[in-house]
Structure 1
Amino acid sequence: MSVLVITGTGTEIGKTITTATVAAVALAAGRSVAVLKTAQTGVVPGERGDADEVARLAGAVTSCELARFPDPLAPATAARRAGAAPVRPDQVAEAAAKLAVEHDLVLIEGAGGLLVRFDDEGGTLADAARLLSAPVLVVTTAGLGTLNTTELTARELRHRGLDMAGVVIGSWPETADLASRCNLADLPVVTEAPLLGALPEGAGAYAPDRFRAEAPGWLAPGLGGTWDAEAFAAASAP
């Protein structure tokens, strides 16, 4: 796997921290890593974006941001309001392919969910993944409501003939409620894909040294880590 697309079932659910975790684990294994942010919205020039945050937490990654729009909106809408050219799926695929020539792993972080529009023609992250024939990692929430949104994303990936690498819970609460604990067993069933990790709540606020040291324990071996989904689910069983 040289290119991995990372999407979510919504916004503010841990995509960037998950991207940083995957990057940190790969770097620790001696792999060179590039992080490509498709479109950064809600950030003005000079502010730190998601790719910058990944580099801060994970370490020596090559970070790339294709476009930046000030309004915190879907990329197509934000580009239109800014009077700027939108990002298109073929641009994402081209940039990722170039990065893959010189890096062992390219992580593509989307904006929002899988079908958030990049342009007014309806281009999405799913289209970029198709052009690259790249697997898609889905980041989701832990609690009530996650089964529906995660299954819908999984179904759309299958409908488009895309490979779903698995699911990562972007923020696992320190005190998990009943729904969250039950979802550990139910998420792999409804998505027909493996549960590949659970990041502790607040991990993005860790100091970089602590983040990098603990990151392997948050991801399953399929993503280079040591996290055991079955043991975690058993320990959290209701």
Structure 2
Amino acid sequence: MAVLVITGTGTEIGKTVATAAIAATAWAAGRSVAVLKAAQTGVRPDEAGDAEEVARLAGAVTTAELARYPDPLAPATAARRAGRAPVHPAEIAEAAAKLATEHDLVLVEGAGGLLVRFDPAGGTLADAAELLGAPVVIVASAGLGTLNTTELTARELRSRGLDPLGVVIGSWPAEPDLASRCNLADLPDVTRTPLLGALPAGAGSWTPDAFRAAARSWLTPRLDGTWDAEAFRVREGPR
């Protein structure tokens, strides 16, 4: 698994923090890690983007960003409004493949959901994953509505012959509601993929030292962690 693609089921569901946790556990396991942000939107040139945030939380990882656009929109739309060249799936795949020659693990973080458009031709992160032949981690929200979007994402991956490696819950609430608790059983059922982890709500605001110390406890051994999905379901599931 030299390249791992990380997609969300939408925006603001914890994809960047989940990417940081995956990077932190791999780095703690002795692997060299690179993080590729395919296209950064909604960030000024002097602001830190998602790749830099991953490095801040995770530690000594290589970061790369293919393009940056000021408007907080889908990359294709943001590129058009800025009058700048879009990013194409082939460029994403080429950059990831090059990083993979120099690192043990390359994490390719998308923008929003799997089918968000990067270019006028309709190129998506799914197209880049196809070119790479890389497994995909789906970062999903915990609560009501997540079953539909997460199942659709898994189905789209399989329709392309891609491997949905599993689901990471990007933000697990301190006081989960009934829908969130039930989704611990329902997410693996509807997606036919395992739960690979659950990050506590607000983890992105932790200090880097605290984040790195705890990251392994949020992810399963498949992602170099110690998290036990079944024990978590028993503890946090329906009451």
Q: TM-score, length-normalised on structure 2?
A: 0.99
Write out aligned runs for 1:32-181 (5 A).
32-181=32-181
Amino acid at match of 1:173: P
Amino acid at match of 1:72: P
Counterparts of 2:117 and 2:186, CA distance in 1: 29
* 1:40 CA displacement: 0.2
Q: How many residues align?
A: 238
Task: Show structure 1 runs of 5+ residues with no match.
Answer: none
* 1:237 CA displacement: 2.2
Counterparts of 2:130 and 2:160, CA distance in 1: 8
- Paired residue secondary structure (2:226): coil
Counterparts of 1:69 and 1:44, CA distance in 2: 8
Amino acid at match of 1:141: S
Amino acid at match of 2:224: G
Counterparts of 1:60 and 1:174, CA distance in 2: 30
Amino acid at match of 1:201: A
Counterparts of 1:236 and 1:165, CA distance in 2: 23
Matched with 1:193 is 193
- Paired residue secondary structure (1:73): coil
- Paired residue secondary structure (1:111): strand
Counterparts of 1:35 and 1:168, CA distance in 2: 18
* 1:206 CA displacement: 0.3
- Paired residue secondary structure (1:198): strand
Counterparts of 2:62 and 2:226, CA distance in 1: 25
Counterparts of 1:127 and 1:83, CA distance in 2: 23
Amino acid at match of 2:183: N
- Paired residue secondary structure (1:227): coil
* 1:70 CA displacement: 0.2
Matched with 1:11 is 11
- Paired residue secondary structure (2:106): strand
Counterparts of 1:237 and 1:227, CA distance in 2: 15
Matched with 2:229 is 229
Amino acid at match of 2:76: A
Counterparts of 2:183 and 2:189, CA distance in 1: 10
* 1:236 CA displacement: 1.2
Amino acid at match of 1:8: G
Counterparts of 2:237 and 2:18, CA distance in 1: 24
Matched with 1:28 is 28
Percent identity over the alignment is 77
- Paired residue secondary structure (1:197): strand
- Paired residue secondary structure (1:225): coil
* 1:44 CA displacement: 1.1
